[in-house]
Structure 1
Amino acid sequence: MSVEISEVVMRFFSLLVLIGSLGCAGPSTALASEAPSAPTVLVLGDSLSAAYNMPLESAWPRLLEQRLQSEGWDYQVVNASITGETTQGGLTRLPGLLQRHAPRWVIIELGGNDGLRGFSLDLT
């Protein structure tokens, strides 16, 4: 069980590092005419990201988008999370999501349902 817990902790800290790295480059200074749309952050996750049993406005991906915009970052956050999603399901959907949204950043929050279903770490 400690191996599974350490894997979850490692994934969580990887997510924090990714979010923290958004703040390292500084806000974009490109003119609107140079950039036809805001860069995209794609969130691929499970119920923790999909706002299971709570209003969508309270989901952390929505809060991330609000925070980025309040700090002067013109990013659009696309929440492609599905309650009950596994790493295999996310892996299957990822190519289409990358093609559709062409994100600058991808945040992957998956693995909890793999553990709940007893999947081997070799499979996730």
Structure 2
Amino acid sequence: MLTGCNTNTQPATDPAATTTPPAAATPSTPATPPAIGKQTILFFGNSITAGLGVDPEEAFPALVGQRIDSAGLGYTIQNAGLSGETTAGGRSRVGWVLRRPVAVFVLELGGNDGLRGLPLSDTRRNLQAIIDTVRRRSPQAQIVLASMQIPPNLGADYATQFKQLYADLARQNKLVLIPFLLEGVGGVARLNQPDGIHPTPAGHRLVARTVWAILQPLLQKPAATQQP
């Protein structure tokens, strides 16, 4: 599985790649425009971000949005997750998604690449292209990179190098890194749906807590210090 919690999962049967995306996961602008005076935090990822198998308000981006509202911070959430998305797919649509500037861009892609055993050089190149596009379209945006992990089905070296590429990209581009998006969730059966890949509502709550621990300090900084 995507996070190493199901070592019997094979790339060819990745549910995230074969399941028809729910309407909530299609790449579209929010139903209502961001509130005046609020900056946008854009979550850009695959079925984990899209919240496949749970209600939209139970997915971790929406839960982070609730924390932001409770804290009285001037940000609004946009969920641009798409089930089955690879880094190549993300690279092709990121420009369309960034038609408006964003304050924070949370990048969660690569898991489907790893499950399919795609060349790591391609994954790295696509993620770098997405980062470059964000920097061009929203030069003031803070980019947060969510690191993913895969099981050693394709070999320990591949899995290790897959994990390392996130740390390398974060260091080279001076990004904020979430060390492992599914920390405490991957491999825990009760926190994942029957496919062993996608979090349950309880799992998403833990993911939201992990993301919030990284985001909260960034959002509370003065705007002038939120530069890459």
Give the structure-2-normalised TM-score.
0.38
- Whether 1:122 and 2:121 are equivalent positions in the alignment is yes
CA shift at 1:36, angstroms?
A: 3.2
| 1:78-121 CA distance string (max 9 Å, x none) | 0011011011111111112112x311110010010001111111
Partner of 1:42: 42
Secondary structure of the equivalent of 2:66? helix
Matches within 5 A, 1:46-65: 46-65=46-65
What is the identity, as a one-letter code, of the residue corresponding to 2:49? S
Matches within 5 A, 1:18-37: 36-37=36-37
Where do 4+ consecutive residues of structure 1 move more than 6 Å?
none
Q: 8 Å contact 2:37–2:74 — kept in the other structure?
A: no
CA shift at 1:40, angstroms?
A: 0.1
How many residues align structurally? Answer: 90
Consecutive unaligned residues in structure 1, runs of 5 or more: 6-34
Point out which structure has higher relative CO (alpha carbons under 8 A, 6+ apart). Answer: 1
Partner of 2:130: none
Give me the CA root mean square deviation. Answer: 1.6
Give aligned-pair identity as a percent: 41
Q: Distance in 1 between matches of 2:43 and 2:71?
A: 19
